[in-house]
Amino acid sequence: MENTADVTAGEHGLRAVGGRAPRHAVVIGGGLAGLLAAHVLSGHADKVTLVERDRFPDGPESRAGVPQDRHTHVMLESGQRALEDLLPGILDEMREHGAPSVAMPTEVVQWQAGHWYRRTAPTAHILTGSRPLTDWLVRRRVLAHARIDTVQGAEVTGLLGDAARVRGVRLRERGTAARDTRDLPADLVVDASGRSSRAPQWLTALGAEPPHEETIETGLAYATRFYRSSGRDEQPFRGVFVVPNPSQLRGGILMPLENGRWSVILSGLRGAEPPTDEAGFLEFASRLPHPVLHDWLLKAEPDTPIHGYRKTGNVRRRYDRPGRRPAGFLAIGEALCSFNPVYGQGMSVAALSAVVLREALAGGRRVPTTRRVQKALFDAVRQAWEISAGADKNMPGATGSALRPRLADRPADWYLRRVQQRATGDPRVGEVFRGVLSLTAPTTALFAPSVVRAVLLGPAPWAPTEPPAHPEEQG
């Protein structure tokens, strides 16, 4: 059973049941999930300490603690709304610093399920600024709060407390001996340390139960390079999406960045990984279903080396399930659930989870116990997991503990494949499909009567067989 001395939102901040003094919260990890969690907690705790292994750069620069920040990132519409809700005015700041907004499907040529999407009127917009820019703008807003402090250049080596309650963290300055540690007491510890979280081992060391892990791994790898525009701003599109499927294992994405730069990411499943040398990178692009991206690369001006990445498995840690786990500990962001990054959900889910954390801590008539808050955070990532893991489980060679088939999977998979095929040429189906992928509409929207009729009974819509050179004129 969970310790009843748990978290509640009091008039003067986060208090223990029974009215103890205002609380101190520690957040492990200074990425987007950690920053936004610290921002939310600053409305409840007298002090929030953000612990980060790196030292934060002064501007929009890459850092080792965000291993994917040299790769393509997008902020889905759901993430934009959540981020603006948390930090009003942040979207204007992002645009002022050059983060492009790309209209879908109008400004993108997208290949999926053997066809190109029609470039009809936009129904969604994605922000495609670089990850260092997004992190820097959020970081300077969050760390300006008087209640938020940082401990930089230090790593957490364990949790303080016991199996009933976490009471802080043990820190070690990076570069010092393993025995040179210090304790940082806290009433609440939030793990936002990412997909490589060591919290399961820390909990075991306290005598608590680690969470069960669900995994799906396709062996997907990707390689990314940034380019200068070289006067290519007059091209008739602002993005290219080539979406892989079980019969076509290679993919590619072209997206605009700030400051007149572009990002190209090539991806491939196990056995079809993209190389990180220039000749191999170009040759890989030439093997995509259409040469549109390869042709663009032949005329582009490289601005960075090619960076590879291979930690793309889906991992969900089931902290929501009953078990002997301590009060005063929460997991959020990729420490709770990490997705195949190729689906572009991570930043948006971080923002959505922070909104859910804020709502859960507000409490209402029910005490926001650790278990209830953790369950709310789990629910916040459910749809993104179903999209990412649901797509990956059908890829050839997929492995993992979450692959167990269910009787309902076959008809559902058949229906969703038909949705993808119809979405390319039917604007209405495409709009609903984008809404679900953008996490602005629930998965059940795909089963609304009008969508079901179009998917199952409607005539096969026309879809382009070549990349549409221009958007369709709006009537």
Nearest to 344 by CA among 417, 414, 239: 239
At residue 17, the pLDDT reads 31
Q: What's the pTM value of the predicted model, to 2 decimals?
A: 0.93
Asked if pLDDT for residue 15 goes beyond 90, the answer is no
Asked if pLDDT for residue 3 goes beyond 60, the answer is no
Q: Does domain 7-69+136-215+312-390 have CATH number 3.40.50.720?
A: no
Cα dihedral sign, 26-153-183-193: positive
**Residue type for 204, please?**
T
Per residue in 108-148, pLDDT (tens digit) is: 999 998 899 999 999 999 999 999 999 999 999 999 999 99
Per residue in 438-465, pLDDT (tens digit) is: 999 999 999 999 999 999 999 989 999 9
Per residue in 383-423, pLDDT (tens digit) is: 999 999 999 999 999 999 999 777 667 898 999 999 999 99
At residue 232, the pLDDT reads 52
Exposure class string for 47-71: b at 16+ Cβ within 10 A, else e: bbbbbbbbebeeebebbebbebbbb
Asked if pLDDT for residue 173 goes beyond 80, the answer is yes
Question: Got the DSSP string for 99-149?
Answer: --EEEETTTEEEEETTEEPP--S--EEEE---HHHHHHHHHHHHTTSTTEE
Say whether 197 sits in a helix, a strand or coil.
coil
Asked if pLDDT for residue 194 goes beyond 80, the answer is yes
In whole angstroms, how far apart are CA 261 and each of 115, 226, 400? 28, 7, 37
What is the domain partition of the chain in residue ranges? 7-69+136-215+312-390, 220-309
Asked if pLDDT for residue 162 goes beyond 50, the answer is yes
Overall average pLDDT of the 251-261 stretch: 96
Asked if pLDDT for residue 240 goes beyond 80, the answer is yes
State the average pLDDT for the chain. 91
Asked if pLDDT for residue 101 goes beyond 80, the answer is yes
At residue 30, the pLDDT reads 96
Asked if pLDDT for residue 291 goes beyond 80, the answer is yes
At residue 2, the pLDDT reads 39
**Cβ burial, residue 303 (10 Å; 0-12/13-18/19+):** middle
Could you tell me which CATH number the domain at 220-309 has?
A: 3.30.70.2450
How many C-alpha atoms does 198 have within 13 Å on its Cβ side?
A: 12
Asked if pLDDT for residue 344 goes beyond 90, the answer is yes
Q: What contacts 22, CB < 8 A, 6 or more positions away?
A: 10, 12, 13, 14, 15, 45, 46
For the ranges 150-159, 303-312, 401-410, the lowest mean pLDDT is seen at: 401-410
Length of the chain: 475
